[in-house]
Structure 1
């Protein structure tokens, strides 16, 4: 009898469904869930939910955090930095960064860094500049904004091998008719190897990736005749050292700017940025040795002329090509004024008798020193006294 009862209970229990543990819903951004741009609160909740290392690298004038996210191994030999939406009214890049960071491996031979919201105040206000009206992407030399200062510290401390800067461009019909535009550093002080690999990154990887996905693409800053396809004129994309793609090249990083067309739908723009990110990741996988060699060669440059004008598509005026001095002498008062900016750029100086300082040109930051301290530069940080002997 007891055996029959046990058998009956066993049979009944086999008919009772035992609820399975419910799987956690997949992590999604506010944009993925609603089709609307991810809000500030949704962004912060999402960043915490990824479980990725999250560091506050600065604070905006309005008190919002400027943050750095790391995916991949902490001490990998190759470091890739994504700067997302420096202009607050260009949100698609930020959304692409938030989406991409969660899919990267936690352990990898590459360290991937994201500044997921490079202009938090501008993003909330939907403005190009920050809360003070500063265009952050024109501030990477003088470092007047907390946002640019935070990024300078990241570049100094992490020494990224590749810097990918995500933007969007407005309608300029009929000349800007592409879905995606890209551009490498054009500044003539960028080392040849860094320049050439950056152009290859743009033309042979990002272009290929976005066009394989059915997007049209082209060089940023060049108006093109929609009928003939011929360039009409250059309206942007020059060699200004204060722009991140150029500053990054001067700091030995391969890199580019990528812009998506706001005439397209938000989803199309975000997906276009993701395809461009695919191109950069492929570039890194295929060119590790070349990237490492070009980076090392750039850091080792100690001789050669200095260019105060021109670009890789614009010959400099002869007066803008000068022999580099040995260094620049700053008075004690000048040094106090700019010492923080020099430190953020990783520029070293030496004490002189009487309280003055000399900033030698022959150092790893050689390409930056004259652009920051020479009166002939376009908007120097301070005008130092060039000297022939140190």
Structure 2
């Protein structure tokens, strides 16, 4: 079964977006909220004031939706979380939209889908929302979006801040992951093409970090291979693997230019934190001469590709909900067994070097008073359990965040927060 959100109202035509539509009842269609992108037919992206007005209208108009504030940026803009559907369920999908402020198509796709989910009346959507909680951070980098910059107002790349948690944006997202325990984390981005080697309509990639539980890793690849890519193909969009250049004739991989296993990237942090993860990237560059002549055509194509991919995500969440929950729950419980290696480097396509493997990890790390004071808040945001010892602390590995702890506290880890003392006997 192919899941498709039944769009009740779009300012953009069905032909332009190539997204399945249904006709809303006459008395309701004119009243549904629309984004600035939709009302301009793709000529411009939705502004922040328009986003706030749009979300407030959806919140008022649908009892399926609630909008809350999870943080504030340095420039005072709200970081918001939209909750849709069943709130008393263990099956949770989290969308993180446009961490990079100059990659807006995912954000406008997310806004449209919030409205579609809020007002849809078809049985498929009702079933999905009756047993799945969908969470959306519609603008993960509001200051960067306002300035049309990749980084936030301090120039920090938020998608490199999921370990250090130095930014308000990164801290807000970490708190959401800790508190809401999503089973799936879906991260929407855009990329610049390099024809003819790297120019698909959409690229995606699962968590490559070797600390990702095997079943979580498998479900992440299934999300890509069996759901997101087929949904994009059905809409007429080409797909590929993010970071991999391919031969334009044979399709064979030539080289890897991005997409490694570093844990500070959300895609990989999701896997380390026992969630199915997927990065999705739509092509920014115009594909046709018509798109070169008319930016709105290019913008609509970018959003349409994201919308089709989201349809695949929702099919996955609905059809494989039991398998997903089994995988994520099993991964979280496995940490309490405190068994197996922890990897400080490598990726699923790049074996870790011997010095990057903790074959027999310590039972925990001891932090002195100064170290604990420096990283106490970050450990709490990551959901790491700590035992205070005097003015310092002991951080045991026997907990659900087992694989994350050495990445945070072992001096050999690339992005460690503190050089904790490894304790081998507990």
TM above 0.5, one fold? Answer: yes
**Does the CA-based 8 Å contact 1:177-1:226 persist in structure 2?**
no
CA offset at residue 103 of structure 1?
1.5
- For residues 48 and 110 of structure 1, the distance between their equivalents in structure 2, rounded to whole angstroms, comes to 22
Cα deviation code 1:350-380 (max 9, x no counterpart): 122x422110011111011000000010120
- For residues 102 and 161 of structure 1, the distance between their equivalents in structure 2, rounded to whole angstroms, comes to 22
1:33 matched to which residue of 2? 39
- For residues 405 and 165 of structure 2, the distance between their equivalents in structure 1, rounded to whole angstroms, comes to 14
Residues 127-166 of structure 1 mapped to structure 2, 5 A cutoff: 127-166=149-188
Three-state SS of the structure 2 residue aligned to 1:260 is strand
- For residues 310 and 233 of structure 1, the distance between their equivalents in structure 2, rounded to whole angstroms, comes to 17
Structure 1 residues 121 and 210: alpha-carbon distance in aligned structure 2, compared to 1, 3 A threshold: same
Q: Over aligned residues, Cα RMSD in angstroms?
A: 1.4
Three-state SS of the structure 2 residue aligned to 1:252 is coil
Rg larger in structure: 1
- Aligned with residue 351 of structure 2, among 307, 315, 334: 315
Three-state SS of the structure 1 residue aligned to 2:174 is helix
- Aligned with residue 194 of structure 1, among 190, 196, 216: 216
2:372 matched to which residue of 1? 335
- Aligned with residue 346 of structure 1, among 366, 383, 393: 383
1:243 equivalent to 2:265? Answer yes
1:88 equivalent to 2:101? Answer yes
Of 130-139 and 314-323, more deviation after overlay is shown by 314-323
CA offset at residue 229 of structure 1?
1.2
- For residues 203 and 22 of structure 1, the distance between their equivalents in structure 2, rounded to whole angstroms, comes to 37
**Does the CA-based 8 Å contact 1:138-1:242 persist in structure 2?**
yes
- For residues 105 and 40 of structure 1, the distance between their equivalents in structure 2, rounded to whole angstroms, comes to 20
- For residues 29 and 92 of structure 2, the distance between their equivalents in structure 1, rounded to whole angstroms, comes to 34
Structure with the bigger RCO (C-alpha within 8 Å, sep 6+) is 2
Cα deviation code 1:257-308 (max 9, x no counterpart): 0000001411011010011111111111111111111011101222100111
1:271 matched to which residue of 2? 304
**Does the CA-based 8 Å contact 2:216-2:328 persist in structure 1?**
yes
- For residues 266 and 401 of structure 2, the distance between their equivalents in structure 1, rounded to whole angstroms, comes to 16
**Runs of 5+ unmatched residues, structure 2:** 1-25, 60-64, 120-128, 287-297
Dislocated runs of 4+, deviation >4 Å: 20-24
2:313 matched to which residue of 1? 280
Three-state SS of the structure 2 residue aligned to 1:241 is coil
Residues 1-390 of structure 1 mapped to structure 2, 5 A cutoff: 24-34=30-40, 35=42, 36-51=44-59, 52-104=65-117, 108-264=130-286, 265-301=298-334, 302-322=338-358, 323-352=360-389, 354-390=390-426
State how many pairs are aligned. 370
Three-state SS of the structure 1 residue aligned to 2:156 is coil
- For residues 66 and 186 of structure 2, the distance between their equivalents in structure 1, rounded to whole angstroms, comes to 20
**Runs of 5+ unmatched residues, structure 1:** 1-19
CA offset at residue 333 of structure 1?
1.2
Structure 1 residues 23 and 361: alpha-carbon distance in aligned structure 2, compared to 1, 3 A threshold: closer
1:3 matched to which residue of 2? none
